Chain A
């Protein structure tokens, strides 16, 4: 019997005297299907759903420990209304839901009358039930400004994949791959799409070569056959040089580029005209030209292969072109959407939970913020520009912000600016499960339910099309409500109650499932629906304007950018005063800003730290495990230092810099570690609008 045995859960549940509820985990956005064990109204255990291709019965540490949120005394229990003036930490009084809904509805009506519907923006993490808010604020109210967290995440990746392949989020078919090249992507340490971790390890076991290009010796680099310790912010140069080798050596797939790519000949001339050779890249990347040449030849001659990025090649002002260059390696070698390649996953045909009739829809009078700000190619709001929009009414007045399940005060760069933004907002609504740092700056705080306490139906994050379900397993604390009830409550006060006619979650659940070949009743029994994986979709035509892989990007050209990726230096470079380059890396046992009040995870890792190479530590008198001051031109933090070999000299790596150093949230989180997001300014990628957390130079001294 293994963890994938289907009836293991029922046998274990018998031992625990518990009932099993099929659900999914929303600690991180990979939403692994789970089996939650409930006894006497409490979660007593939970495990991975063994039938799900997503996690094959397994879990990660943060998901496994997540049951604690159902018992955490620090959870928000009641709606809270601010009683003191903005500008300092909020003081709040408990109000009823009815008062909360009325307060929000009155403010919304006032703002729309005075400033127009686009003066209200919405932001969330990875849209947990957020579509209900969108139906209210976008469809009925008329604001075009519904955003998620992406600019603080893989915005450059999204932009690259959309413009090249017409796909927002390709998956990785590691299991069938023979050569995997990951750029700034700590798949095994940070992301934890568990089937991907397992597939990568299985592939490696079968002889697949793993190459990790990263200034940090990450958990993934640790498992790699080759770690390429590149200078930060230079991935684009190395990828372009690799493309040049592949082209000059005739190792590209001429059939593929002729049939299925736009602009290959132009790209060939471009890399030659610009002189993107391994010799040119060597001093930029800190990688020998011979290594770049060898890797290019290996990559192009081993099939199936995959070159993929996540966040690390972004986070710089040159990250957009770096991302495109890394993915053009897939395109010119014809390694796309075949087994073992980057996979252009099908999405499940989920229907809307709420249908707003056309004649009831609100109309915006201005374009969405990202367009008005000058980022037409941004897949999501350039978060770092939002404070400027609010504070200076640039490009137009933004007066209200709805925040759901995200914490911009901690997660966005330049904390000073974000806090000033909240001070200026006429209405800040935070829907949260904790009194987060953002909640503390808000006018009204609404206690949401956790994924153990509400229902949600959403796209699964697996190779094939997939639907995953989470269903209420235990009662929420106090008066906490799910998003769909909160939205309905506000809508009723706005006079739009009839558009949210559901009485129980199954009512909208049935609507969402109407085009899925599985009934809601069956989904409740099984926890997920998975369709077949389809490969070889490139010949069918892609969702790009030309239906081809757009190596030449007309969208880039139209927006005034180079249609082929170029290499430019990042904006901030170390100097004599601030000699070290900031990079960031994550912890595997913490997820962003959400897990630091969990004592089980804090027991494993209760504070974050900055890593520094031995050579630099000697230079600046830094001892391992001692506290140091990390100082940028903008701010300084006191943080523990770890002296390591696995980091490019001249860099520091701030681990989990925007997840620690909470000054709110709860007893276990508060005051642990250091928050690093005020070290950097509001740098934004000029093309994609991504937050550039690594555009930051520092100096380090013993504390």
Chain B
């Protein structure tokens, strides 16, 4: 089974609450940012658009950070696919930060070790799967969800169907109403 995050950029308002909730729950010091909200702006005045993305470790299927680690400090749990770092093994070389396409691994200046989102599995503060992650729990607009990839794929489809229904696309309204009880457009 693979667990992960579902992120709905249309809902994210870039309030940064997820970052602080992550830090507070997992007691992360100032410096490393396990989660970070970034804004991507495009277009020219007055036709401007912007998208917010809350970024953290994606707990990749074939995690490049794990493959890059020279001391096997990074592992992927078989039962849930969560990618974890063994701080006792980490030598702080930073290879993982180069390998990761999302800049998820963060080197702690204080400890000289790599750390990153551990899906709220910080020793002593583990949140059981099935509970919302700290970032998810706090989000005012419900932009972040966590769960198994199967659950997330279906919730993603649900959101897409809701939106299409609201836009009044006939076939989908019917489908969405039947499946999810969602009110259609006009």
Contact = CB atoms under 8 A, between A and B. Distances in A.
Contacts of B167: 207
Contacts of A588: 13-16
Given A61-B20, A65-B20, A206-B166, A649 B45 contact: yes
A647 interface: yes
A552 B132 CA distance: 52
Interface stretch (A191-199, A524-532, A629-637): A191-199
B162 interface: yes
> Quick one: which of A64, A588, A599 has the most chain B CB within 10 A?
A64
B154 interface: no
Contact of A645 (B25, B48, B127, B142): B48
Contacts of B168: 207
Interface string B140-176: 1110000000000000000100110011100000000
A3 B138 contact: yes
Given A15-B127, A61-B16, A197 B48 contact: no
A53 to B, nearest CB: 13
B48 A206 contact: no
A3 B13 contact: no
Contact of B17 (A16, A64, A644, A649): A64
B180 to A, nearest CB: 12
A23 to B, nearest CB: 16
Given A59-B138, A201-B11, A45 B24 contact: yes
B140 A604 contact: no
A58 B140 contact: yes
B50 A217 contact: yes
> Quick one: which of A48, A57, A59, A194 has the most chain B CB within 10 A?
A59
Given A67-B24, A645-B45, A600 B30 contact: yes
Interface string A20-58: 000000000000000000000000011110000001011
B13 A219 contact: yes
Contact of A201 (B13, B50, B130): B13
A219 B52 CA distance: 10
Interface in B11-55: 11, 13-17, 19-21, 23-25, 30-31, 33, 41, 43-46, 48-50, 52
Given A59-B140, A604-B19, A2 B13 contact: no
A200 to B, nearest CB: 9
A604 B34 CA distance: 12
A197 B140 contact: yes
A11 interface: yes
B67 to A, nearest CB: 30
B50 A646 contact: yes
A377 interface: no
A359 interface: no
B183 A206 contact: yes
Nearest to B31: A603
B136 interface: yes
Interface residues of A, number: 54
Contacts of B46: 227, 229
B132 A192 contact: no
B126 interface: yes
A3 B136 contact: yes
B16 A192 contact: no
B20 A198 contact: no
B58 interface: no
Nearest to B32: A603
Nearest to B137: A3
Given A207-B185, A646-B48, A201 B141 contact: yes
A646 B45 contact: yes
Contact of A223 (B13, B33, B162): B13
B147 to A, nearest CB: 10
B16 A1 contact: no
A205 B52 CA distance: 17
Interface in B100-148: 125-127, 130-132, 136-142
Given A48-B138, A646-B50, A600 B45 contact: no
A11 B131 contact: yes
A628 B19 CA distance: 30
Given A65-B20, A645-B43, A649-B45, A205 B14 contact: no
A205 B163 contact: yes
A201 B136 CA distance: 16
B13 to A, nearest CB: 4
A373 interface: no
A59 B17 contact: yes
A545 B100 CA distance: 66
A239 B101 CA distance: 48
A2 B132 contact: yes
Nearest to A646: B48
A223 B51 CA distance: 9
A55 B142 CA distance: 12
A8 B131 contact: yes
B138 A645 contact: no
Given A15-B125, A16-B125, A207-B166, A60 B140 contact: yes
A1 B130 contact: yes
Interface in A564-602: 588-589, 599-601
Interface string B86-111: 00000000000000000000000000
A645 B50 CA distance: 11
Interface in A63-79: 63-65, 67
A269 B16 CA distance: 49
A64 B136 contact: no
B138 to A, nearest CB: 5
A598 B140 CA distance: 21
A222 interface: yes
A192 B139 CA distance: 12
Given A47-B137, A603-B30, A613-B45, A189 B13 contact: yes
A600 B21 CA distance: 11
Contact of B23 (A194, A600, A645): A600
B55 to A, nearest CB: 13
Contacts of B16: 61, 588-589, 604
A64 B20 contact: yes
Given A189-B13, A206-B183, A588-B14, A59 B21 contact: yes
A205 B138 contact: no
Interface string A186-228: 0011001010011001000111000000000101001100010
A197 B132 CA distance: 20
Contacts of A649: 45
A496 to B, nearest CB: 43
A222 B141 CA distance: 15
A614 interface: yes
Contacts of A46: 24
B114 to A, nearest CB: 18
Interface in A632-656: 644-649
A229 B13 contact: no
A671 to B, nearest CB: 17
A105 interface: no
A454 B142 CA distance: 31
A330 B114 CA distance: 55
A364 interface: no
B24 A65 contact: yes
Contacts of A64: 17, 20-21, 24, 138
A197 B14 CA distance: 12
Contacts of B166: 205-207
Nearest to A223: B13
Nearest to A1: B131
A485 B117 CA distance: 44
In the A-B complex, the 5 residue pairs with the closest CB atoms: A207-B166, A61-B16, A64-B20, A188-B13, A58-B140
Given A58-B139, A61-B20, A600-B23, 20 more contacts: A3-B136, A3-B137, A8-B131, A11-B131, A15-B125, A45-B25, A46-B24, A47-B21, A59-B17, A59-B138, A59-B140, A61-B19, A67-B24, A188-B13, A189-B15, A205-B163, A207-B185, A601-B20, A646-B41, A649-B45
5 contacts: A58-B139, A197-B141, A207-B185, A223-B13, A227-B48
